[in-house]
Amino acid sequence: MKDIAGCIAGKSYNLHVMGVRGKGIIKGLEEYIRACRKVDGGVRPNPDPGYGGYSDTSFSDIAAPVYALILEETLGFRSLDRKKTAMFLAKRRGTDGLYRSRPGGKPQLILYETLQALLGLRIIGGSLPAGIADRSARAVAQLFRKHGIGDFPFYALDFYAQFYSILGRCVPPPIARAVWERYSSSLKDGEVGGHVASTFHFVHFARLMGRRVPDAGKIAEKALAIQKRDGSFNRMPDPDWDVHATFDGAFVVRQLAFGKARKKALGGAARYALSCRNPDGGFGHFPGRKSDLDACYFHAGTLVMAGVLPVSKVPTGLARVLGWGHLFPLSTRSSLR
């Protein structure tokens, strides 16, 4: 691990060395996920049964198995019994076509769990049965009609684009307009909502929608400016806001920055991600924190974006929605003008 960190911190990248060491990181993740498996096809966030998870894994028992599936698909290994995992996810589907880990829940959590469950089922099955996709699409449209976007935090507005992209469908115009107007009206000085997490979701939403990112140059400059010396994009610092900030910043930089600035920033982000790796093969959300499958995905995703981890061949259509953008195709300069 130190060898990789030193390589990244230096003046040049040695992709061969990083690829060799990267295989060790992948092996660690494979073994970590295997230790987190449950007999019912679910996945714990940590092998410790008494650990309740953090961030996404604390809210939803759908998060850990789907993040594990994303890592498997991205990095080319198999730790889960996918038949059991598919059954586990299918049992979370309600009669209304929405997926829930427990009764009730805020609309943004229901939307998150639904899109994640459908992504997991798509990874396992290769596609979604039309009946399941249609029922879920009708249910999400009803969710929008009932709740709108007024109570949705900035990060959750992006869930609509992710959901419809997983289905392979266009976002309905009323939803697309409402979300775009909310994001655009909140863009100020290169940020949405005053934090890189909200800004990331705006950029991610725009990319999924195939739209130009307004003020792309300012957004890139802001992201580069807030990166800390340790390579993270943690600014508050706030364990709730900053929990995925380095992944978020890395995505923004990778999509909107160019040349040496992008390379340096991604190298720093990778260095920080590696500092969160633990002896059990997993990653904690912050250095010294307990490993969690949520952190494993986001830090591994950062390492993928930085070119540290070798990536398995993933179909282009799935790459766009496999997680939160670590395999998303790069923008071109012309699309940002």
pLDDT digits (tens, 9 = 90+) for 69-128: 999 999 999 999 999 999 999 999 999 999 999 988 899 999 999 999 999 999 999 999
Distances (CA, A) of 193 to 118, 153, 154, 183: 29, 9, 7, 9
- Residue 220 in any domain: the answer is no
Residues 129 and 51: their CA atoms lie apart, in Å, by 35
* Predicted local confidence at residue 151, as pLDDT: 82
CB atoms within 10 A of CB 239: 13
Number of domains comprising the chain: 1
- In this prediction, residues 204-230 reach a mean pLDDT of 96
Residue 121 lies in a domain: yes
> 186-203 as b/e, with b when 16 or more CB fall inside 10 Å?
bbeebbbbebbbbbbbbb
Assess if residue 120 is contained within a domain: yes
Within a domain: residue 165?
yes
199 Rama class: left (phi>0) / alpha (psi -120 to 50) / beta: alpha
pLDDT-derived band of residue 316, with 50, 70 and 90 as boundaries?
confident
Q: What is the mean pLDDT of the chain?
A: 91
The CA distance from 143 to 100, in Å, is 14
Q: Could you say which DSSP state residue 129 is in?
A: -
Which residues share a beta bridge with 37? Answer: 43
For 93, list phi and psi in degrees, rounded to 5.
-80, 125
What secondary structure does DSSP assign to 12-58, as a single string? S--HHHHHHHHHHHHHHHHHHHHHHB-TTS-B-SSS-TT---STHHH
- Tell me what pLDDT residue 309 has: 95
- pLDDT above 50: residue 3: no
Measured CA distances, 7 to 18, 93, 116 (Å)? 8, 46, 35
**pLDDT(247) > 90:** yes
Q: Domain range spanning residue 22?
A: 2-212+313-336
If you compute the radius of gyration of the chain from its CA atoms, what whole number of angstroms results? 19
CB of 263 closer than 8 Å to CB of 292: no
Model confidence at 10: pLDDT above 80: no
275: in domain: no
Do 33 and 293 touch, CB atoms closer than 8 A? Answer: yes
Give a yes or no: residue 185 inside a domain. yes
In a domain, 141, yes or no: yes
pTM of the model: 0.91
Task: Say if 221 falls within a structural domain.
Answer: no
The CATH number linked to 65 is 1.50.10
What distance in Å separates the CA atoms of residue 188 and residue 126, rounded to the nearest whole number?
Answer: 40
